Chain A
Amino acid sequence: MSTTTTASPNEAKLWGGGKSPFNSEYGKVMMWYFLMSDAFTFGAFLISYGTVRFSTNGWPNSNEVFKSFPFAPEGVNAPLVFVSIMTFILIISSVTMVLAVHAGKNMDKQGVVRNMILTIIGGIAFLSCQAWEWNHLFHEGAWWGSNPFLNADGTASSTNFTNFFFTITGFHGFHVFSGVVINIIMLIMTLMDKFEQRGHYLMIEKAGLYWHFVDLVWVFVFTIFYLL
């Protein structure tokens, strides 16, 4: 029996031991597997939400619930505008993160610093928006265990609408928060020339993977919660 089941001799060497078959150091491999496991956590939450929602007779219309905007007069009708802006901010922060990683590959310390700062600002902006949203909804009477909104057909709604909303966006927000903290630590390490000394910015890349994951989860949450 030959050493591998695939034909190409190069692949045989790739998996032949003595090196990483993914051409990545262990930290990156671990980050990918951790992200897979975290995906299952979020997946479990979202699927639970899906099953509860579709076995319930009525559900609030998200266009009605999420129609407010900060600093605008009360009762303004801007359905999903605010959350779209939040999404836009987070996506832009992913773009700046990509730029930071790219700068790191080119050993461009200034580029890394600049883009990390932008990413952190984006993250903090997203968190602030989320905090405003939560606060606003709280003042409308929404919280874990309490749902002031009616179903689309006018009937009384289950508290699971707000239960899931706060739990899932809260869990996501916790990930954004930890991502911001990680990014700040990355920034400090960059400024302290830690990566210059090491000769590579691989840590930025790993932090970048985490940040992109957080962004991707938000896209799913936004789609499933607000759009569907």
Chain B
Amino acid sequence: MSHEAALHNHEGHESHGHDDHGHHEHHDTFLTKYVFSQDHKMIAKQFLITGMVWAVLGGLMSVLFRLQLGYPDASFPWLESILGKWAKGGQITPEAYYALVTTHGTVLVFFVLTAGLSGTFANFLIPLQVGARDMASPFMNMLSYWFFFTASIIMLSSLFVETGPFSGGWTAYPPLSALHDASPGSKTGMDLWIISMALFVVSSLLGGLNYIATILNMRTKGMSMTRLPLTIWALFFTAVLGVLSFPVLLSGLILLIFDRNFGTSFYLSDIYVNGVGALSNEGGSAILFQHLFWFLGHPEVYIILLPAMGMVSEIMSVNSRKPIFGYMAMLGSLFAIAILAFLVWAHHMFVTGLNPFLGSVFVLLTLLIAVPSAIKVFNWLTTLWRGNIRFTPGMLFAIGFVSLFISGGLTGIWLGNAALDIYLHDSYFVVAHFHIVMGVASMFGMFAGVYHWFPKMYGRYLNNSLGYIHFWITLAGAYLIFWPMHYQGLAGMPRRYFDFSIWESFKQFADLNRFISTVAMIVFAVQILFLINFFYSIFKGRKVTVLNPWESNTLEWTTPINPGHGNWPGEIPEVHRWPYDYGKDGHDFIPQTTPVGEDETETH
């Protein structure tokens, strides 16, 4: 049979609907249905729940190290009973502090905001919103989750090693991360960290390839690229970013493992370690690692941001009963952000002594990336304007996202300017910036997505009142925690400091530190409330009784309330329009599957 025929057979198979699929005798065992599932919806939930577990662990770590920052002189006997030698006398040791800070960063950036955010929503939404039965390769999709799970286990195991987990900051710069003798946390814990990250990269690649192939190859009839919901476009660009940038991190980590264990000098040169003496390594460059790391590191933050942006666009439009303003501009700005994301990495390296001309190029490109971001903000504002807004918890978190993105994004402009970064680098200003724009804003995007799509995932609603409490307290709390930190940064207060008492220049913030720590604990507690809501509602939440509870246009709401394998029991619907016909020609909403009427005004 020819290549052509093979191709069309594959597709013919698809379009004949899977009536047989619906009645197929699957004989799913508990293992194949819930554990080694190849159904994208189940895999999405696996990513979500694993991500949540890590969010609790990572959040708990931040509560612990904020305990040290807020109450540096106090001692908590119960700490010693939990942490043992890491909290002798009830006070967290510097070793423990740095291990907590490092693991917090690693786990939240990668396991929660990448795997938990992209992994969940790309897996859940892509087939449903493009009109496919499942991902292009369900098997690879399953592998993607299990590599993530294995990476998690290894990272978890590094917490229990005798010398402790890696403690050199999530950015893992050598020589600190390359020399076993530079810190106890750079011993076995670091090797485990690297292996865990390598497996994580594999998981991301497997996922990303699937998402790209599914979006390009498996859209249903009529779903042209410009009729895709913005969520899908965002997830598409996210996947492209990941597929091209994670490999460079992998290379950097391989070279690091060689430096650590095989006597190479990729990153090492001219080193004398206290108590050990002069090392034989010569000729390497510690800055090389930083280039390789940030070549991933910068796209990584957009990998975290873009899915949130895509979901917010969707949720805002549905709940304003208006089309997202400027679809093509939103698409173009996603595209511009994706391209520019690859070209700005060295703005994390302005003070490494890099060539000033090179630095200036990165200043230009970095401030350039502010333009498409600004466009998006204005478009979201215009989407709200003259809309008819429903305040579902999802909508609240979407609005909160925009507020946080404005705040955090604007401080990015301060930092992108090298002549300001030379003062603010590695200060609490940076900590405030990335927490607001990434830690909180993207987390809000994730919450918005969970509240909005929970009915589709589980056929039940999350409790609304708990949702409102969750939103308002978290929004207020986040601002209370991170807004004052800008002032600490402007005082030059360095980040990753265990204690400030010996510093005449930085010790004036004792009260503020205590305040921030207290608020942080309250905000963490409220997240627990959310988790209770989440798990309770899976089993006992108010049941969804209508197919389309949010009266949305997109395809996922045309599936049954609890969609099974293959998503649509009959044929996959055909699409005739874009997803944003809300309030058009006096109609409240017109689903994508509705054919174009004769007297309808211009369609997309």
Residues of A within 8 A of B (CB): 1, 3-5, 12, 15-27, 29-30, 33-34, 36-38, 40-41, 43-45, 48, 51-52, 55-56, 105, 107, 144-146, 158-160, 163-164, 167, 171, 198-200, 202
**Interface hit among B109-117, B220-228, B406-414:** B220-228
> What is the CA–CA distance of A26 and B139 in the complex, to the nearest angstrom?
13
Q: Residues of A contacting B250 with CB < 8 Å?
A: 41
Selected A-B contacts with CB under 8 Å, 21 pairs: A3-B224, A16-B221, A17-B219, A17-B221, A20-B217, A20-B218, A23-B7, A24-B217, A26-B218, A33-B208, A44-B248, A45-B255, A56-B283, A105-B2, A145-B262, A158-B282, A160-B283, A164-B266, A198-B6, A199-B1, A199-B6
Q: Which of A19, A159, A199 contacts B282 (CB 8 A)?
A: A159
Q: Residues of B contacting A24 with CB < 8 Å?
A: 7, 217
> B220–A26 contact, CB under 8 A?
no
Q: Which of A52, A158, A171, A199 contacts B5 (CB 8 A)?
A: A199
> What is the CA–CA distance of A26 and B212 in the complex, to the nearest angstrom?
10
> A17–B264 contact, CB under 8 A?
no
> B216–A21 contact, CB under 8 A?
yes
> What is the CA–CA distance of A55 and B5 in the complex, to the nearest angstrom?
55
Closest 4 CB pairs between A and B?
A145-B263, A158-B283, A18-B221, A17-B223
1/0 per residue, CB under 8 A from A, across B223-245: the answer is: 11111000000000000000111
Name the residue in A5, A105, A159, A198 with the highest tally of chain B Cβ atoms < 10 Å from its Cβ: A159
Q: Residues of B contacting A3 with CB < 8 Å?
A: 224, 226-227, 604
Q: Residues of A contacting B205 with CB < 8 Å?
A: 34, 37
List the A residue with the shortest CB-CB distance to B204.
A37
Q: Residues of A contacting B221 with CB < 8 Å?
A: 16-18
**Interface hit among B284-292, B380-388, B468-476:** B284-292
> B1–A22 contact, CB under 8 A?
no
Query: From residue B299, how far is it (CB to closest CB) to chain A in Å?
Result: 11
Contact A146 to B209, CB < 8 A, known contacts A17-B221, A18-B15, A202-B6:
no
List the B residue with the shortest CB-CB distance to A12.
B224
Query: From residue A138, how far is it (CB to closest CB) to chain B in Å?
Result: 14
> A18–B251 contact, CB under 8 A?
no
Q: Which of B9, B218, B223, B288 contacts A52 (CB 8 A)?
A: B288
Interface flag for B89 (CB, 8 Å): no
Query: From residue B196, how far is it (CB to closest CB) to chain A in Å?
Result: 18
Q: Which of A5, A33, A37, A171 contacts B213 (CB 8 A)?
A: A33
> B266–A30 contact, CB under 8 A?
no
> A160–B243 contact, CB under 8 A?
no
Q: Residues of B contacting A21 with CB < 8 Å?
A: 216-217
> What is the CA–CA distance of A159 and B251 in the complex, to the nearest angstrom?
19
> What is the CA–CA distance of A37 and B9 in the complex, to the nearest angstrom?
30
> B284–A20 contact, CB under 8 A?
no
Contact A160 to B266, CB < 8 A, known contacts A17-B223, A25-B10, A34-B205:
yes
Q: Residues of B contacting A52 with CB < 8 Å?
A: 266, 283-285, 288
Q: Among residues 176 to 220 in chain B, which have CB atoms less than 8 Å away from a CB atom of chain A?
A: 205, 208-210, 212-214, 216-220
